[in-house]
Amino acid sequence: MTRFQWYLFKQLATGVSVIAIVLVFAIIMTQTLRLLDVVIDRGAPITVFLHLLLLALPNFLQAVVPIGSAVAVLFVYNRVAMDSELVVMRAAGIGPFNLAWPAISLGVIIVVLLLVLQGWVSPLANRELRQMQAEIAAGLSQYLLREGQFNAISDDLTIYFRDQRSDGLMSELLIHDTRTDGQTVTVAASEGWLRQQPDRYLLTLFNGSREIMRDGQNDPDLLFFGEYTVTVPIDRTAIEELPFKFTDRFVWELLTPDVTWSAQMWHYDRMIATGHERLAMPLTAIGFIVIACAFLLTGEHSRRGQNGRIALAVGCMVLLQSTMMVLVTEARGNLGLVPLLYVIPIGTVILSLTVTYMRPWLFGRVRKVRVAPRPSRERRVPALARPATEGVA
């Protein structure tokens, strides 16, 4: 890229980042209450809420990045046009296509980012988000252990610890365990670690004592230990059997359904259509960008602004997005429409690039310049200034 193109690319990248952050923040404010309900009802700490918010972030990004890219391109190119920077670049010999090249490069980067988000990151985050919400609702998450309080893991198991360091080490623990019939176990320790395994939690205690009081026994059995492990079994059957939604599945899982599973056969067409939707919808981002370039980088410069061109560009973007949404809905019931999910955005990109590159030749108007007649070299003397020679003797 030339220096002018790098300048435009930096302006566009900054604009997309700022607009995306603002839109993500706005969406987060609307979704915060839904996530807080899960946390507050179970009394979980703020770290659980932040973790849930982080897992929901990929879904927000894939929704706002295409819109942010379109707004950024419209804003940046309109600003450089109003500041006459675009005129200077054109006077330097940079054509419309070369002016659009920074936006096209940014659009390719955005498409790759969206493909990664929709194909891999977002499904992975959705799986962990749903599993974490189920664990919190069932009271099985290790995040629900609060320091300085008696945490009732179940009706017959209570755990208390004074505080917990950033590395997870807990201090001054007290455990009350009545899971075994006929006896009550009380364990006190100076430190302890909580580790999670697939089917249970292991609470490893250090430097403490264990006291067992059995029914009909006056004196408890006392044991001092340097290391002792308490097992906390959990029933993860309901969590592990959480059915995957379409948003939780990777692209390759959607495009290759398991025909031996009746549930997937029942939704075969919908899964295929959703998989192609994940691959085709990111193309609308670069479609928005080239539409903006086709309207703002061609034609004559006007000091009165480009509001009309911006309105037309926005209208074309809305039309493209609406068409894609209708096709996605219809393709779930008719797989014959799936190729149109790729034809529409790719055709829009090709048409817009063609207009941007060829408009000076295809739609340019040839103006006829009137050439003024060249004055004669013979010097004509005005009539009043001529000498009166007639009638002189």
Q: Picking from 52-56, 75-79, 355-359, which range would have the lowest pLDDT averaged per residue?
A: 355-359
Q: In this structure, are residues 201 and 232 in contact, taking their beta carbons and an 8 Å threshold? A: yes
Q: Which helix (H) or strand (E) holds 35?
A: helix 3-42
Boundary-marking domain end, from 180, 212, 233 = 233
Question: pLDDT grade, residue 371 (50/70/90)?
Answer: very low
DSSP state of 121: I
- Percentage of the chain exceeding pLDDT 90: 23
Q: How far is CA 277 from the centre of its chain?
A: 16
Residues 72 and 176 in one domain: no
pLDDT at 360 over 90: no
- Split into its structural domains, the chain has a count of 2
Q: Which pLDDT value is given to residue 370?
A: 46
Per-residue pLDDT, 168: 74
The contacts of residue 187 (CB under 8 Å, 6+ apart) are 173, 174, 175, 177, 205, 208, 209, 210, 211, 228, 230
Q: Do 268 and 353 sit in the same domain of this protein?
A: yes
Please tell me the predicted confidence (pLDDT) of residue 106. Answer: 92
Tell whether the model's pLDDT for residue 25 goes beyond 70.
Answer: yes
Mean pLDDT to the nearest integer, 255-275: 72
- Predicted confidence (pLDDT) at residue 266 exceeds the cutoff of 80: no
Distance CA 170, CA 192 (A): 5
Answer yes or no: is pLDDT of 59 > 80. Answer: yes
Q: Could you tell me if residue 177 is inside a domain?
A: yes
Q: For residue 117, is pLDDT > 60? A: yes
- Residue 28 reports pLDDT greater than 70: yes
If asked whether residues 248 and 298 sit together in one domain, one would say: yes
- Whether residue 290 sits in one domain with residue 174: no
Same domain? For 176 and 266 the reply is no
Write down the pLDDT at residue 60: 84
DSSP track, 50-113? HHHHHHHHHHHHHHHHHHHHHHHHHHHHHHHHHTTHHHHHHHTT--HHHHHHHHHHHHHHHHHH
CB 253 within 8 A of CB 132: no
Q: In what order do the strands lie in the sheet with 221-233?
A: 150-154, 157-164, 170-177, 183-197, 200-214, 221-233
Provide the pLDDT confidence category of residue 133 given band limits of 50, 70 and 90. low
Question: If residue 194 lies in a helix (H) or strand (E), which one and from where to where?
Answer: strand 183-197
Q: Are 294 and 356 in contact (CB under 8 A)?
A: yes
Q: Residue with structure tokens 């952050």?
A: 21
Res 70: pLDDT:
92
| Sequence-ordered list of residues with C-beta below 8 angstroms from that of 306, at least 6 positions apart, any chain | 78, 81, 295, 296
Whether residues 63 and 201 fall in one domain: no
What is the per-residue pLDDT for 365? 45
DSSP 314: H
CB 25 within 8 A of CB 64: no
User: What is the rounded distance in angstroms from the CA atom of residue 295 to the CA atom of residue 275?
Assistant: 32
Same domain, 117 and 178: no
Give residue-wise pLDDT tens across range 282-339: 999 999 999 999 888 876 666 666 788 889 999 999 999 999 999 998 988 888 899 9
Give the residue with greater pLDDT, 250 vs 375: 250
The reply to whether 353 falls in a domain is yes
Which helix H or strand E contains 208, and what residues bound it? Answer: strand 200-214
- Give the pairing type, strands 200-214 and 170-177: unpaired
pLDDT, mean over the chain: 79
CA nearest to 151, candidates 134, 169, 124, 175: 175
What is the domain extent for residue 308?
3-138+244-362
- Give the least confident one: 2-16, 85-99, 156-170, 240-254: 240-254
Residues whose CB falls within 8 Å of the CB of residue 8, separated by 6 or more in sequence, listed in order: 76, 80, 99, 102, 103
pLDDT, position 286 = 93
Name the pLDDT band for 393 (thresholds 50, 70, 90).
very low
Look at phi and psi of residue 224 and say left if phi exceeds 0, alpha if psi is from -120 to 50, else beta: beta
pTM: 0.66
User: Cβ contacts of residue 186 below 8 Å, gap of 6+?
Assistant: 174, 175, 176, 177, 210, 211, 213
pLDDT tens figures, 330-349? 988 888 899 999 999 999 99
Over pLDDT 70: what percentage of the chain?
76
Residues 114 and 260 in one domain: yes
Q: Does residue 386 lie in a domain region? A: no
- Residue 170 located in a structural domain: yes
DSSP calls for 221-288: EEEEEEEEEEEEE---HHHHTPPPPGGGS-HHHHHS--TTSHHHHHTHHHHHHHHHHHHHTTHHHHHH
Same domain? For 356 and 210 the reply is no
Residue with tokens 């029942």: 266
Residue 371 covered by a domain: no
User: In terms of Cα–Cα distance, which of 134, 94, 112, 82 is closest to 4?
Assistant: 94
Do residue 119 and residue 261 come from a single domain?
Answer: yes
Same domain, 277 and 342: yes
Establish if 72 belongs to a structural domain.
yes
Q: Flag whether 391 is in a domain.
A: no
Q: How far is CA 151 from CA 176, 187, 349, in A?
A: 10, 15, 58
- Same domain for 22 and 134, yes or no, is yes
Residue 239 lies in a domain: no
